A and B are shown apart, each in its own frame.
Chain A
Amino acid sequence: MPTQDEIFTKVSATLVDALNVDEDEIKRTSTLQGDLGAESIDFLDIVFRLEREFGIKIPRGELFPESIFQGDPEFVQNGKVTPKGLEELRHRMPFADLSTFEKNPEVSKLSDLFTVDLITRYIHGKLQNKNAG
């Protein structure tokens, strides 16, 4: 079972290939879209590369959900994610760190949840389950 640091190193290498960025641009806190310039089509490319690199299967929408709230007013009101929406986020993305987001849960900031660290934690969880199974 690789350590989080080892996973981070491999994730970084994957992002270098997928996003054509320099390795030294990649920090744990880098956001995929804001900092590393990922576009929508890059997310599937990243999924393909992670599957190959780590020998895992990443079901559609598990790592990068396409639409979590679907405009449901129970989840989003006045441009902000409601407490119920935050619960849904925790349920759908248990690997996401919501500590900063939940202080000011603007929908427009959702993309900032998708960091290099998020991928690292997701992979770590997948590999733990794989080893346990």
Chain B
Amino acid sequence: MRWLWIDRFIEFESGKSAKAVKNTSLAEDHFAQHFASWPVMPASLILEGLAQTGGILVGEANQFKEKVVLAKVPRAIFHREMLAGETLYYHTEILHLRPEGASVSGTVVVDNQVTAEAEIFFAHLDQNRSAAIFGEHNFVFGSEMRTLVAKLTKVAKPAAANGAASS
């Protein structure tokens, strides 16, 4: 399975905010068991999608030079279950950005309703120590992530429809 939990970006303002879309589908393996007769998108994977949206936003702010890792989720609230077939809009905004790390606020919007909210905290791996341990290669923003990022340049303004239009 490819560990990408967003399909594309629909808005991206460098160093400030990003919005991405996740189209859920019954074809995704996890729905087979979560749950067989009631396909609920796992909250952890929703959070992962929100973190990928925010993590790329944070990474791009430093031209992907930093290894940005999810450090903690101080707050996460899920207002309702999200089911296979629904389109999730991930909205993220940078609260703080410093050399050591960043924090991001995020909301999930489905059918123009906020269905989840979270605060996500990212750490920048210490450049000196992580280079010694992991080498210079930035494993966080690998080839799959870079594909998504490359599409950023082709991002269109959001259509005035569905959750994408709300700010």
Residues in chain A within 8 A of chain B (CB atoms): 17-18, 20, 41-42, 44-45, 48, 51-52, 60
Contact B100 A45 (CB under 8 A): no
The interface size bin for chain B is 10 to 19
Residues in chain B within 8 A of chain A (CB atoms): 71-72, 74-75, 95-96, 98-101, 103, 121, 123
Contact B121 A41 (CB under 8 A): yes
Closest Cβ neighbor of A61 among chain B residues: B100
Contact B74 A20 (CB under 8 A): yes
Contact B71 A41 (CB under 8 A): yes
* Chain B residues, Cβ within 8 Å of A48: 95-96, 98, 103, 121
CA separation between A116 and B57, bound complex, in Å?
33
A47 to nearest B CB, angstroms?
Answer: 8
26 pairs from A and B in contact (CB 8 Å cutoff): A17-B74, A17-B75, A18-B74, A20-B74, A41-B71, A41-B72, A41-B121, A41-B123, A42-B72, A44-B71, A44-B98, A44-B100, A44-B101, A44-B121, A44-B123, A45-B71, A45-B74, A45-B103, A48-B95, A48-B96, A48-B98, A48-B121, A51-B96, A52-B96, A60-B98, A60-B99
A90 to nearest B CB, angstroms?
Answer: 25
* Chain A residues, Cβ within 8 Å of B96: 48, 51-52
* Chain A residues, Cβ within 8 Å of B71: 41, 44-45
Closest Cβ neighbor of A17 among chain B residues: B74
* Chain A residues, Cβ within 8 Å of B121: 41, 44-45, 48
Closest Cβ neighbor of A59 among chain B residues: B98
B123 to nearest A CB, angstroms?
Answer: 6
CA separation between A37 and B71, bound complex, in Å?
16
Contact A60 B75 (CB under 8 A): no
CA separation between A41 and B123, bound complex, in Å?
8
* Chain A residues, Cβ within 8 Å of B123: 41, 44
A58 to nearest B CB, angstroms?
Answer: 10
- Known contacts: A44-B123, A48-B95, A52-B95. The answer to whether A60 contacts B100 by CB under 8 A is yes
Most B C-beta atoms less than 10 A away, residue of A17, A44, A51: A44
